[in-house]
Structure 1
Amino acid sequence: MTRQIDLEADIHRLLVEDDRIAEQGVTVHHRENVLVLDGEVESAQRRDEICRQISEHYPDLEIVCDIGLTRTQAPAEVEEIS
């Protein structure tokens, strides 16, 4: 269990401290040999870079990149509330 917590902490530190990533909104969950990255970022390119960097640093782990995209533009339609 401690190794799993250490791994999650190491990956979170990489996400936050690496200048190419510098992302605090992504969470890390490690189950057996699968690493799940979860959260939201502002672009598909950023999501892909995060997943690529983590995959390069931890090539022996299966990476599931479940990072969504935040909407950065105003909605195209007016939402009607009844």
Structure 2
Amino acid sequence: MNDYTEAEVQRAMAEDLDIAEQGITVVRSDVGLVLRGEVESPHRRDEIVRMVHGRFPGIEIAADIGVTRAAAPTEAEELA
């Protein structure tokens, strides 16, 4: 891992045609890199992690990627 690894991972996530993710940040940790952000599904999170592991096999990757609710609400919100 070098000084540019975070930027390389960030660019790879943005330029990959299947991922095209710009909302995930990459932070260096004591043991490797941490991916942080929010995505719309567990499947999307897994695809991002799988792609990064595949492109950067020698780097320890930890995912701190949350899943946000992307579906429409099932009931109306009442405003007071």
Q: Which TM-score band (shorter chain)?
A: 0.7 to 0.9
SS of the residue 1:8 aligns to:
helix
Question: Is 1:38 the counterpart of 2:30 in the alignment?
Answer: no
Q: Which residue of 2 aligns with 1:24?
A: 22
| Runs of 4+ with >6 A deviation | 77-82
Please, what TM-score do these two structures have when normalized by structure 1?
Answer: 0.81
Determine which structure has the larger helix proportion and give its number.
Answer: 1
Equivalent residue pairs, number: 79
Unaligned stretches of 5+ residues in structure 1: none
TM-score computed with the length of structure 2 as normaliser:
0.82
Question: C-alpha displacement at 1:57, in angstroms?
Answer: 1.1
The structure where strand makes up a greater share of residues is 1
Unpaired runs of 5+ residues, structure 2, are none
Instruction: Choose from 26, 51, 62 the match for 1:53.
Output: 51
Tell me which amino acid in the other structure corresponds to 1:40.
Answer: E
* Percentage of pairs with the same residue: 49
Counterpart of 2:40, as a letter, is E
